[in-house]
Amino acid sequence: MLPDVVVLNLHRRYTGVSATVKALLPRQRQTLAIGLWDQGNLELPDRLGLWALLRWGWTSPHKGPWRIWHARRDNEILLGLVLRSLLRQPWQVIFTSAAPKRPGWWLRQLIRCTDLVIATSPRSAGFLERCDAVIFHGVDCEQFQPAAHREAALAEVGMEGLKCIASFGRIRPSKGTDLLVEALVALLPEFPGWVGVITGLCQRRDQAYLAALRRQIALAGLEQRIHFVGDLDPVDIRRWYQRASICVAASRREGFGLTPLEAMASGCVPVTSQAGAWPWIVRPEFGLIFENGDHLQLAAALRDLMSDEGRLQVMSAKARMVALQEFSIEEEAAQINSLYSTSLTKSRSQQQ
């Protein structure tokens, strides 16, 4: 028999959506039976296939008149609509949108046919014709947590006695890597106890961009203080969060942007642009926000933190607390499951 909720991951490549499903589903399953149709090898149990959906899709749900079909991609919506409207199976189609732009024509037509729409931030909600709930992404506060001794973590990589400003994500113009380099070139001569670390993959099309940044750093004589450490595995990324005192997220545009939440959970103070969901997450008591594309504002924000160790420590503790209390992945899972429970017992006319 089918469970009353089915979640989709119909993409063979591992993407941000795949990561969301992989992180959320085990938490959601702690309180609710949920099936998974997975083509991306997420290595999660209790997977379904098309045959099971066709065989059992007409059976009566357990809790009400409908089952939940939770889609995060256009092809997943389309399949749910085929099962619901063409094959007359009892599904409520839910779609989650994280896009920081208006959906294209085709996706808009699909969304109009869904029963519920979730946005991951007020910004994403603002681009939709309708939004029934805003549920922020959460962070795994067990995977991401402060180091027992940040100094020891820095010593592992030869940075004894130093403090670190780090950024995480792809190296490309849209991520604002150049803004951070501009700020570091201006600030590091003034603060000899600090270094900058930039993690992340640089794709072939952005290699010239990276080369220009390296030249800028070399001209400033800061090759030993601004480090590009490459595309790291998840364990190493989490350890760099633990080494950093400040995390910079300088994107010019962003869908949601998890790195500030990962930083907060790691006891690292976030300094972000106004992209993504960050204006609704970062508050002055534990982080700072600067104008998109403004490296001078970024430098000013960093200077304020770098020159006040006491303030930095207080903000670090507060950042961790807010991540635990407001933005944990358990909180995200609980909010989605609550929406499922309400939707399972409503008629389609009540939903719309």
* CATH fold of the domain at 150-326: Rossmann fold (3.40.50)
Mean pLDDT of 24-46: 94
- pLDDT value for 350: 52
Domain with CATH 3.40.50.2000 in the chain: 5-138+329-351, 150-326
- Residue 69 DSSP SS3: strand
Query: What is the CB neighbour count within 10 angstroms for residue 50?
Result: 11
Confidence at 352, pLDDT banded by 50, 70, 90: low
Mean pLDDT of 236-260: 96
For the segment 60-67, the average pLDDT, to the nearest whole number, is: 90
Beta bridge partners of 194: 163
Check whether 241 has a pLDDT greater than 90: yes
Identify which of 62, 60, 8, 10 has the alpha carbon closest to the alpha carbon of residue 35: 8
Percent of the chain predicted with pLDDT > 70: 98
pLDDT number for residue 36: 96
Alpha-carbon span 169 to 182, nearest angstrom: 18
Q: Which CATH superfamily is domain 5-138+329-351 in?
A: Glycogen Phosphorylase B; (3.40.50.2000)
> What does pTM read for this prediction?
0.90
* Close Cβ partners of 194 (under 8 Å, ≥ 6 residues apart): 162, 163, 164, 165, 187, 188, 225, 306
Is the pLDDT at 349 greater than 80? The verdict is no
pLDDT digits (tens, 9 = 90+) for 81-131: 999 999 999 999 999 998 889 999 999 999 999 999 999 999 999 999 999
Question: pLDDT by residue (tens digit) across 53-63?
Answer: 999 999 999 88
Asked whether the predicted pLDDT for residue 64 surpasses 90, the reply is: no
CA gap 114, 183 in Å, rounded: 45
- Residue corresponding to tokens 């670090």: 316
Q: What is the pLDDT of residues 172-224, one digit of tens each?
A: 999 999 999 999 999 999 999 999 999 999 999 999 999 999 999 999 999 99
pLDDT of residue 15: 83
